[in-house]
A and B are shown apart, each in its own frame.
Chain A
């Protein structure tokens, strides 16, 4: 990751931070999303928000997943959800649950991998990394590029395109306005408040930096730990 030191006139982002994401071959159709600079690297602005999770608070109900797919696709599905809760009920707490959300990476390898700029970070939407299904050609390169396990970019077998968390920008089945400044369906619906939303992205080199403690004294009164 390279920080651009020559872009202050372009950078209206809160953290004045731009991330380099690859080579000059990515310049096709980059209007409003990324910038070609003199060092021939491509930069995108930091996302204006991301989801964070409390792995000790989640109860594994999966409501976030089916609500996500409902909001985006109008049907209840786990496979189509952009947040993935995986659990092994035979493991001990807290290793029994993983909550996998898109990190809205600053260097966003999935954006860099897209050959047709379907995967982008638009200025109009707070630079949330998002995939336009109409543009996606189904090459799956963005899925492969995601460094996380499980991959945070999903394959939609119905549309034969890739999809990822857009912080509820494109939610035709949710009454509320989504996206940064709006409602994130998974966060709003979570019965125990195990999902949070941040506008300051955490340290990118620490894998656990999106895992937070969302438990307070009231949680302790129900007999459960509030320690990290």
Chain B
């Protein structure tokens, strides 16, 4: 393969067993694209015994933090994303190779330091952190950082890294035989106390609030005695066609992105979304919208109130229901019917606590209403059936949030039950039935619901069953937010349902034809259709390359619908500013939009091979019982409208509340999906011909050794 631009050329392998580092040539990994592709192939290559590693805290686990050719560039909403891959902690029925991701400026700084990814194996004999200054790599003792929160840790490292000031405002860093200069702070990824204590709820934090947590990557750092990774770089990313890159970015700015100087009118929130903080209660006006490197319009915020910086999206709402419950009564279940300013500051404060301690807020959000209920029933508290000294009568206050987060992060008091995850903890307390009956919303693999019930938002549930974690792909999900928030606010959603779904399916090459609008029909009569399997295939394969590997932001890509375009057609796949335009301008490679999706198919199939080696079988792919046994009656918004047809075939935004899945239906859908992928329908295992057709004979050989190749018939 020819040398490509955009890549730094080096992958950093840290061996903590021996406290050494090695350089892996990126060229050997080009075909995997970057990000997740790198992580999957590195896991395949470096994990000593994939089948035997059953918990992410095993020293043999391989954790990779990877950028892409876009990292450190101005490719819109792609320059600062970063992928994390590792064996998971705390999932059921078994752990598996999984992923998470985060934004900010870490991957851009890693690239400017001359590295495409860092992959870590082994376990250090004592706490360490990795300090990379251009090509100079140090594995440093971290006892002075152990026990510090994520913000303090970053600040201590940043101060140390910037200690050589060469002239006012510029620090000096060795750069080969030269001396590079920068005004920037080091970019640091670290764990807080939750990760140090190897909690399944521990996550990685970069900046004030960029987090990667689903799958327990914080626990993985802690288990390796790894406190943090820091990069500072003074170099550059080589670009194949800089003129084309600048031109495409200008076109994006002028014709596809929101321009809030000109209008604050409704904008569909993919590439054309407005620069607004994605928080779930009203923000005080004293804030700025902040963003990751290279973003076309940011979604985070920094505040004048002195806390809550980058407490965004999920982190801004984990305690929102509790705050509302304490102030206004009612239970602590999340509801966005009241999003008043009076809820904001305490919610941001609680988000800050979680970010500083490095706690994944998805699982604890689901836990809070259950704790409240158990306390109200007299089964939780001092000397009760479930003993805890936390002040549950103050649930919803800052005081409770502080004590609760501390307990979770340190594994003390109530937190002692949840070190291995919420569902295992609930089961060990003898309340597993509350997971089965939906009192706790953990619909798949012991993971908390991401906010989108599989009974309503079909693609979210199905794609999750076919992958490793709650899929966390908002490509279609913005429909939910825009349509249902408009309904809540009494606004007529401006795009007719049939027009909207048409724009989506036009982009679903090569799996859905432009006229197959039923791929977006979420009506009950279409829930288990074959075309819905191909729609999910597109999500999985598009996502594995363009989002998880090329690292285009999940919030901004794909751009299927763009309200700044007269015909509402978004940038995705087009010849002007589509995904491949950026890839080709940066790397010089010359691929098509569909070529990228095909690469995603290959990466996804390597993932599946790893999962199969780890014990995966078709029988694992199922929802929690309540998804089948009960109707969906509650949503955080009053409605769950989604495009659907009625029996006459007429499109509209129709209510999804009130329905449930059937086990037979989901199994039927799974069979459609396995056929579409070419997997053995009985087991979900890949076949030799499938793998060899994608150039993965070695993978097929390995699966055959352990008797896990799918049947060709």
| B658 touches A (CB below 8 Å) | no
Structural contact, B236 and A219, CB atoms closer than 8 A: no
Assign chain A's interface to a size class.
35 or more
Interface bits B287-306 vs A (CB < 8 Å: 1, else 0)? 11111111111100011111
Given A76-B73, A157-B178; A90-B261 close (CB under 8 Å): no
Q: Is A154 an interface residue (CB 8 A)?
A: yes
User: What residues of A have a CB within 8 angstroms of the CB of B118 in the complex?
Assistant: none
CB-based contact B276/A223 at 8 Å? yes
Q: What's the minimum C-beta distance from A61 to chain B, rounded to whole angstroms?
A: 4
Q: Is A77 an interface residue (CB 8 A)?
A: yes
Is the interface on chain B under 10, 10 to 19, 20 to 34, or 35 or more residues?
35 or more
Query: In this assembly, does A40 line the interface, its C-beta being within 8 Å of a C-beta of chain B?
Result: no
User: Is A63 a contact of B261 with CB atoms below 8 Å?
Assistant: no
Query: Contacts A63-B295, A75-B236 given: A93-B261 contact, CB under 8 Å?
Result: no
B72 at the interface (CB under 8 A from A): yes
For the complex formed, measure the closest distance between the CB of A167 and the CB atoms of chain B, giving whole angstroms. 16
Q: Is B185 interfacial (CB 8 A cutoff)?
A: yes
Across the interface, do A157 and B175 meet the contact criterion of CB distance under 8 Å? Answer: yes
Residues B286 and A225 in contact, CB atoms below 8 Å apart: yes
CB distance from B413 to the nearest CB of A (A): 29
Q: Across the two chains, which residue of chain A brings its CB closest to B182?
A: A79
Q: Determine if B262 is an interface residue (Cβ-Cβ < 8 Å).
A: yes
Whether B235 sits at the interface, judged by CB under 8 Å, is yes
Write the nearest CB–CB distance from B360 to chain A, whole angstroms.
20
Once the chains are docked, how many angstroms separate the CA of A192 from the CA of B119?
Answer: 36
User: Taking each of A58, A66, A67, A149, which has the highest tally of chain B beta carbons within 10 Å of its own beta carbon?
Assistant: A66
Q: What's the Cα separation between A34 and B326 when bound, in Å?
A: 71
Question: A157 is contacted by which of B234, B239, B247 (Cβ under 8 Å)?
Answer: B234
* B261 contacts A75, C-beta separation under 8 Å: no
CA distance A7 to B238 in the complex (A): 47
Q: What separation, in Å, do the CA atoms of A173 and B239 have in the docked complex?
A: 11
Report the Cα distance A84→B171, complex, angstroms. 13
* Interface flag for B547 (CB, 8 Å): no
Q: Which residues of A have CB within 8 Å of B79?
A: 61-63, 66, 76
Contact residues in B for A192 (Cβ distance below 8 Å): 260, 275, 289, 297
Q: Is B126 an interface residue (CB 8 A)?
A: no
Q: Check A218 against B263 for contact (C-beta < 8 Å).
A: yes
Residue of A nearest to B295 (CB): A61
B262, B277, B282, B294: the one contacting A66 at CB < 8 Å is B294
B303 nearest in chain A by CB position: A93
Of B181, B182, B296, B304, the contact of A94 (CB 8 Å cutoff): B304
| Interface positions of A from 92 to 107, Cβ below 8 Å from B | 92-94, 96-97, 100
Contact A100 B293 (CB under 8 A): no
A63 touches B304 (CB 8 A): no
Q: Which residues of A contact B112 (CB under 8 A)?
A: 77-79
Q: Is B169 a contact of A151 with CB atoms below 8 Å? A: yes
Are B168 and A149 within 8 A (Cβ)?
Answer: yes
Q: Which residues of A contact B166 (CB under 8 A)?
A: 155
A59 and B185: CB pair below 8 A? no
Q: Are A175 and B302 in contact (CB under 8 A)?
A: no
Known contacts A59-B288, A173-B246, A219-B260; A92 and B303 CB within 8 A of each other: yes
- Residue numbers in B under 8 Å from A56 (CB-CB): 288
If the complex has contacts A78-B184, A151-B169, A173-B242, are A61 and B309 also in contact, measured as CB distance less than 8 A?
no
Contact of B238 among A67, A75, A79, A225 (CB under 8 A): A75
- Which B residue sits closest to A56, measured CB to CB? B288
B170 at the interface (CB under 8 A from A): yes
- Determine the distance from Cα of A77 to Cα of B169 in the docked complex, in whole angstroms: 17
Q: Is the CB of A218 within 8 A of B264?
A: yes
Q: A144-B167, A191-B295 are in contact. Are A96 and B302 (CB under 8 A)?
A: yes
Question: Which residues in chain B, 154-213, are within 8 Å of chain A measured between CB atoms?
Answer: 154-155, 166-170, 175, 178-185, 207-208
Q: Which residues of A contact B539 (CB under 8 A)?
A: none
A86 CA / B158 CA spacing, docked (Å): 13
B401 part of interface (Cβ distance < 8 Å): no
Taking each of B178, B289, B294, which has the highest tally of chain A beta carbons within 10 Å of its own beta carbon? B289
The distance in angstroms between the C-alpha atoms of A88 and B208, with both chains bound, is 9
Q: A15 to chain B: which residues have CB within 8 Å?
A: none
Shortest B622–chain A CB gap in Å is 41
| Chain A proximity of B389: nearest CB distance (Å) | 32
Q: Which of B249-257, B482-490, B570-578 contacts A (4 or more CB under 8 A)?
A: B249-257
Smallest beta-carbon distance A211→chain B, Å:
14
Say whether A116 faces chain B, with CB atoms less than 8 Å apart: no
A143 within 8 A of B: yes
B residues within 8 A CB of A100?
A: 169, 183
List CB contacts (< 8 Å) of B458-490 with chain A.
none
**A143-B275 in contact given A62-B105, A67-B246, A97-B288 (Cβ < 8 Å):** no
A60 to chain B, nearest CB (A): 5
Residues of B within 8 A of A70 (CB): 73-74, 239, 242, 245-246
Give the residues from 170 to 228 in chain A that come closer than 8 angstroms, CB to CB, to chain B: 173-176, 185, 188-189, 191-193, 214, 216, 218-225
- Whole-angstrom distance between the alpha carbons of A57 and B180 in the complex? 30
Chain B: CB-nearest residue to A174? B246
CB neighbours of A92 from chain B (8 A): 302-306, 309
Chain A residues with Cβ below 8 Å from B260 are 192-193, 218-219, 221-222
A97–B183 alpha-carbon span in the complex (Å): 12
> A32 at the A/B interface (Cβ < 8 Å)?
no
- Asked if A88 meets B185 with Cβ closer than 8 Å, knowing A61-B291, A70-B246, A80-B236, the reply is yes
Tell me the smallest distance from the CB of B581 to a CB of chain A, in Å. 15
A134: Cβ under 8 A from any B Cβ: no
**Interface of chain B residues 502 through 533 with chain A (CB within 8 A):** none
Q: For B275, give its contact among A173, A174, A222 (CB under 8 Å).
A: A222
Q: Which of A67, A77, A79, A151 contacts B249 (CB 8 A)?
A: A67
Residues of B within 8 A of A189 (CB): 74, 246, 249-250, 253
Asked if B492 is at the interface (CB within 8 A of a chain A CB), the reply is: no
Which residues of B, 347-376, contact A by the 8 Å Cβ criterion? none
Residues of chain B from 74 to 109 with CB closer than 8 A to chain A in the complex: 74, 79-80, 105, 108
Cβ contact within 8 Å between A143 and B297:
no
Contacts of B243 in A (CB 8 A): 173-175
Most buried by B among A62, A89, A92: A89
Interface residue B133 (Cβ < 8 Å from any Cβ of A): no
Does B283 interact with chain A (Cβ within 8 Å)? yes
Q: Is the CB of A61 within 8 A of B302?
A: no
Tell me the complex Cα distance, A124–B530, Å.
67
A73 within 8 Å of B (CB atoms): yes
Q: Is B151 on the interface with A (CB-CB < 8 A)? A: yes
**Are B249 and A89 in contact, CB atoms less than 8 angstroms apart?**
no
Query: A53 at interface (Cβ–Cβ under 8 A)?
Result: no
Q: Which residues of B contact A61 (CB under 8 A)?
A: 79-80, 291-295, 298
Known A94-B288, A150-B169: A77·B236 in contact at CB below 8 Å: yes
Q: How far is the CA of A87 from the CA of B154 in the complex (A)?
A: 14
Using Cβ atoms and an 8 Å threshold, which residues of chain A touch B72?
A: 66, 76
When distances are taken between beta carbons in the complex, the residues of chain B under 8 Å from A69 are: 236
For residue A131, CB closer than 8 A to chain B, the reply is no
Contact B285 A224 (CB under 8 A): yes
Chain B residue at minimal CB-CB distance from A222: B276
Q: Which residue of B lies closest to A71 (CB)?
A: B246
Q: Is B274 an interface residue (CB 8 A)?
A: yes
- A224-B288 in contact (CB<8A): yes
Distance A221 CA – B282 CA, assembled complex (angstroms): 13
Can you list 21 pairs linking A and B with CB atoms under 8 Å apart? A59-B295, A60-B290, A62-B79, A66-B74, A66-B293, A70-B246, A76-B74, A88-B185, A89-B290, A90-B155, A92-B304, A148-B169, A157-B179, A174-B243, A189-B74, A189-B246, A191-B275, A221-B264, A222-B276, A224-B288, A224-B289
Q: Which residues of B contact A (CB under 8 A)?
A: 72-74, 79-80, 105, 108, 112, 151, 154-155, 166-170, 175, 178-185, 207-208, 234-239, 242-243, 245-247, 249-250, 253, 257, 259-264, 274-277, 282-283, 285-298, 302-306, 309-310
* 12 extra A-B contacts, CB within 8 A, seeds A63-B293, A79-B181, A191-B297: A57-B288, A67-B74, A69-B236, A78-B108, A92-B306, A151-B170, A157-B180, A175-B243, A191-B295, A191-B296, A214-B261, A224-B289
